[in-house]
Structure 1
Amino acid sequence: MAITPHKNLAQWLPLIALAAACGMPAAQAEDNYPSKPIRLIVPYPAGGGTDIIARLIGTQLTQRWGQSVVVENKPGASGILGNDIAAKAPGDGYTMLLGITTVAQIPALYKKVPYKLSDLTPVSQIAKSADLLMVPRSSGITTLQQFVDQAKASPGKFNYGSYGNATSSHMNGERFKQKAGIDLTHIPYQGSGPEMVALLGGQVTLALVDATAAYPHITSNKLNILAVTGAQRHPALPQVPTMTESGFPGLEANGWFAMFLPGTTPKPIVDKVGAEVAAIVKSPELNKRLTEMGLIPVGSLPDEFKTQLGKDVTHWKTVAESAKISMD
């Protein structure tokens, strides 16, 4: 005997079928991803470290997926312009962002930002960096404690250089001052290049220099490297202690380069991009290139990076508030 559907159920069957049909394109889009070219936003000018890494990753993704990954440089407002473009892009996986540590710092430095941090989905931490605390060798200072002792003996006479206001080096420098209980005058430079020139020329008594910029100079006979920020020693400088090992905890956060997608991107796409980027970073070719840039390759998966990003946001907020550092 044939079973006749309940009339109420029969009434809703066309709508159920329509809903299922509407859901099919989205599911198929995820399964077929990527099926067209992808743009990779770099919120800084061409030629810098972020741009170089984006092009390395983009080239590898193009080869793996058979779809072009086109790097678009969108500099402006300390990275906020490019971040905003990515944050407001459709969550279909066809707009990516190669961001740096400032993504985690911006919420603490600016009162008004055109996007929320939740508008960006963490995909993979590509590589970590660190700041090196360096002094001219002519100073005769060989340990961080020795520097602190001399700074305390001559309050107000020592200074430190950073690669810019409200950068990691500025915040790390102020954090160091607080932990050590010393008075140092902050001298910001327009990037690590001018900062290194000033340090080599003896124009600053201490400089916090990004490891990537300092890398060509780490064997210089004109400099002494006293300590390194971050949770672990830098692989290229195994003999140099961390700030914590030197007796000044609170500077364990690393700088980083990382991949993001718009916050509305479906998890299957986020996971697929994350797995690909992680595999690329861990390949011998990319691992070697990143190491040669003075970086520490990571290649984390989305959930791992999400956890790290949360910790970093909290850390930089604490530092910015305690040192009263703001860009507003």
Structure 2
Amino acid sequence: MPIIGQIRQNDRRASGRWRQLRRAVGASTVVALAVSCAAVSGAGHLPDDRAPLDRPLAAAVEGLPLGEAQRVGAEYAAASLADYAHALERAEARRVAAAKRWGLATPPLRPPAPPPQKVELASTPGLIADAGLPPVVVRVPTDDKVVFLTIDDGWHKDPRFTRMLRELDIPYSAFLSDYVAKDDYDYFRRMHRDGAAVQNHTLHHKEMPKLSYAQQRREICDMQEVLKKEIGVTPRLFRPPYGAYNRDTLRAAATCGIEAVPLWAEEAWAEKFDWGRADRVFHPGDIILTHFRGPQEWGGTMNDMLRRTLKTATDQGFALARLEDYI
């Protein structure tokens, strides 16, 4: 159909909602939706967030009788969704091939759709909690079978690691310290463009309770400014070095715009996995800590760490999700 062919040619980009669709459903489900949409002959309503697509559609239906315009709209929706479904299928095929290439028996599980609203956090029992202070947590309260990969400091910058994350489409968060990240912020800018979240881990990686309140505030607030300048983001999350903090740390963090302090329930290494609980299994919402480290420190690579983490999560039926989608 010439009109639909023209629309397809003019529209090869999906909006934010369509890009997020692959998180919510598998490619086969999207194909089924496209087939169902193609069967519609009268509705043809477009998603409400596809403003960039209104112009070519409007041009296609301009001057047509109402019934014909509705038919073209329905065909347009089906064609656009089918194109997106095919793109998802190709992306999934690439991910399956990437899993094999990176030494995984099966591709990592896909996380479910993010919650429509972020969860309300309270400090994990036993950790400092008070009104006006950001909550300190080791896991996110959720029933979803998801865990969260977080990577600290920024010391070792291995392009093979970020390539593996990108090809497998793994969400993660980097908590950076300026004193080790500053020699190559381009590495972290590329990570951020790939979809990684970038958060605050202080300027100099000092043990916070050993510093005065004013010193702690400089460590946190100045790092906020560095990341705003270098990455273009102002972090909402802060992790104190070594997991060491006191009430002054949280007071200072609050004045810098920090909303939560995620610690961790497990720690991933290249050759082992440290469990925070006696049952040695993931619980929904667990936060995993690892570091930017190389073979000299670990006896293995960051790719080895990621491979171990993904296999452990997949074997237990967990997917890696984006921490910032939940808190």
Larger relative strand fraction: 1
TM-score normalized by the length of structure 1: 0.27
The structure with the largest alpha-carbon Rg is 1
Query: Higher relative contact order by CA 8 Å / sep ≥ 6: 1 or 2?
Result: 1
Task: Output the TM-score relative to the length of structure 2.
Answer: 0.27
